[in-house]
């Protein structure tokens, strides 16, 4: 897991993430903050969800799956290793666990469950809640290395091979809504490279990487960057920020912004409305963190 300052305070879509029919698919871990709605199913390595998260389809985790209390999963939960299910969680399908099952009180599993390992009935979820609080505290006081080790222990990265450790997680911030219609977050958003995303993306700012296909519009209050070779099937709009469009990018809609920085090898099919400065150039300055 990649630990940066406030890693849970942004929407992070890692390289190669795709939406396949009704499933959100990534090679790495999936972390969903509490009070969020994900109308897709989720397929990833380890899946961690905070309290009162709703999933609209199946969860498939190659490693562990940790669902906090009051979660609601419309479909099946299929877990390759251990599962931790918080109290009063509802699963609309089956729960299938290859390892151990730690399950809270008053959990409703409509089509039954199986676990190949130990089954313990209690409330395990305060561990997950404590993890998020503890991780945030470590980052605030600058203990990034200790925070990284804590995250690796929770998500099972300590036993992963070197290639797996380099995979960034998919992070949905607390209180977000993710669906085929729109991704709505009140935090900054970052999209990696080679992704195929369905839905309009709404965030405070947006940075979209290379060679993506976004079947929807981009909207933010701050800056928006569209990377090389990315195609946006919709409008790109910001209220107060700058839009930067890299070479080979294609916007199949309108662009509205304060300032516009446009590479001459990019294409905009719709109209352009820039209230401030507009520049067209041959070089594209990449921002560094």
- For the segment 21-63, what is each residue's pLDDT rounded down to a tens digit? 889 999 999 999 999 999 999 999 999 999 999 999 999 999 9
pLDDT at 157: 47
Structure token pair of residue 83 = 């599962």
pLDDT digits (tens, 9 = 90+) for 170-195: 999 999 999 999 999 999 999 999 99
Count CB neighbours of 35 within 10 A.
16
202 CB-contact burial (10 Å; exposed 0-12 / middle 13-18 / buried 19+): buried
Q: Is the pLDDT of residue 73 over 70?
A: yes
pLDDT of residue 160: 47
Mean pLDDT of 244-253: 97
Q: Is the pLDDT of residue 127 over 60?
A: no
Tokens of 127: 């561990």
Q: How confident is the model at residue 158 (pLDDT cuts 50, 70, 90)?
A: very low
Residue 3 pLDDT > 50: no
123 pLDDT more than 80: no
From residue 54, give the alpha-carbon distance in Å to each of 125, 150, 199, 211, 249. Answer: 16, 26, 18, 30, 34
| Model pTM score | 0.83
Mean pLDDT score, 93-121:
93
Mean pLDDT rounded to a whole number for the chain: 87
Instruction: Specify the pLDDT at position 120.
Output: 85
Lowest-confidence region among 49-53, 143-147, 214-218: 143-147
Average pLDDT over residues 205-221: 97
pLDDT of residue 121: 79
pLDDT score, position 184: 97
**How far apart are alpha carbons 17 and 34 in whole angstroms?**
22
The HSE-up count of residue 147 (CA atoms within 13 Å, CB side) is 21
Tell me how far apart the alpha carbons of residues 198 and 253 are, in angstroms, rounded to a whole number.
16
**How much of the chain is helix, strand and coil, in % rounded to 5?**
10, 40, 50
Residue 194 C-alpha from the chain's centroid: 15
Backbone angles phi, psi at 151, to 5 degrees: -65, -40
Residues 226, 218: contact at Cβ < 8 Å? Answer: yes
């Amino acid at each position: 897991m990649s630990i940066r300052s406030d890693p849970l305070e942004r929407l992070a879509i890692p390289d190669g993430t795709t939406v396949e029919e009704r499933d959100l698919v990534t090679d790495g871990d999936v972390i969903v903050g509490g009070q969020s709605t994900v109308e897709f199913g989720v397929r990833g390595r380890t899946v961690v969800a905070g309290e009162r998260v709703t999933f609209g389809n199946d969860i498939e985790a190659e490693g562990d799956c940790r669902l906090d209390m009051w979660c609601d999963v419309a479909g099946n939960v299929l877990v390759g290793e251990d599962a931790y299910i918080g109290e009063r969680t509802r699963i609309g399908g089956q729960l299938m666990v290859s390892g151990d099952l730690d399950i809270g009180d008053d959990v409703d599993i409509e089509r039954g469950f199986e676990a190949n390992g130990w089954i313990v009935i209690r409330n395990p979820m305060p561990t997950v809640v404590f993890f998020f609080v503890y991780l945030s505290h470590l980052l605030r006081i600058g203990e990034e290395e200790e925070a990284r080790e804590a995250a690796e222990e929770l998500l099972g990265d300590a036993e992963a091979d070197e290639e797996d450790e380099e995979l960034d997680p998919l992070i949905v911030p607390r209180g977000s809504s993710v669906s085929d219609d729109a991704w709505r977050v009140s935090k900054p958003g970052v999209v990696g490279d080679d992704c195929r995303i369905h839905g309009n993306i709404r965030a405070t700012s947006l940075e979209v990487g290379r060679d993506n296909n976004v079947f929807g519009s981009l909207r933010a209050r701050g800056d928006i960057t569209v990377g090389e070779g990315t195609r946006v099937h919709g409008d790109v709009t910001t209220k107060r920020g700058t839009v930067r469009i890299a070479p080979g990018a294609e916007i199949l809609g309108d662009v509205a912004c304060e300032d516009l920085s446009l590479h001459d090898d990019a294409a905009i099919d719709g109209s352009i409305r820039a209230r401030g400065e507009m520049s067209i150039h041959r070089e594209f300055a990449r921002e560094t963190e």
